[in-house]
Amino acid sequence: MALAHNLGFPRFGRDRELRARHWQVQKDAGIELLPVGDFAGYDQVSPLSTDDQPFAQAWEQLFEEVIEAKALGHAVKPVVIGPLTCLWLSKNPEGDLDELALERLLPVYDQALNRLAALGVEWVQIDEPILAQELPQDWKNAYERVYNILQRAPLKKLIATCSGALEGNLGLAVNLPVDGLHIDLVQAPDQYSTMLDRLPAYKVLSLGLVDGRNASPCNLEKTLDLLRDAHDRLGERLWVATSCSLLHSPVDQAVQKCQEVALLARAINDAAGCELRATA
The amino acid at 183 = I
Task: Count CB neighbours of 236 within 10 A.
Answer: 11
**1, exposed or middle or buried, with CB in 10 Å at 0-12, 13-18, 19+?**
middle
Per-residue pLDDT of the chain in tens (280 residues, 90 and over written 9): 899 999 999 987 678 899 999 999 999 999 999 999 876 555 555 464 445 555 666 788 899 999 999 999 999 999 999 999 988 987 655 567 888 889 989 999 999 999 999 999 999 999 999 999 999 999 999 999 999 999 999 999 999 999 899 999 999 999 999 999 999 999 999 999 999 999 999 999 999 999 999 888 888 888 999 999 999 999 999 999 999 999 989 999 999 999 999 999 999 999 866 554 444 4
pTM for this predicted structure: 0.92
Report the length, in residues, of the chain: 280
We report the CATH number of the domain holding residue 20 as 3.20.20.210
CA distance 42 to 30: 26
pLDDT given at position 97: 86
CA distance 136 to 55: 26
CA distance 119 to 67: 7
* Total domains in the fold of the chain: 1
Nearest to 6 by CA among 80, 85, 79, 84: 79
Task: Name the residue range of residue 29's domain.
Answer: 3-279
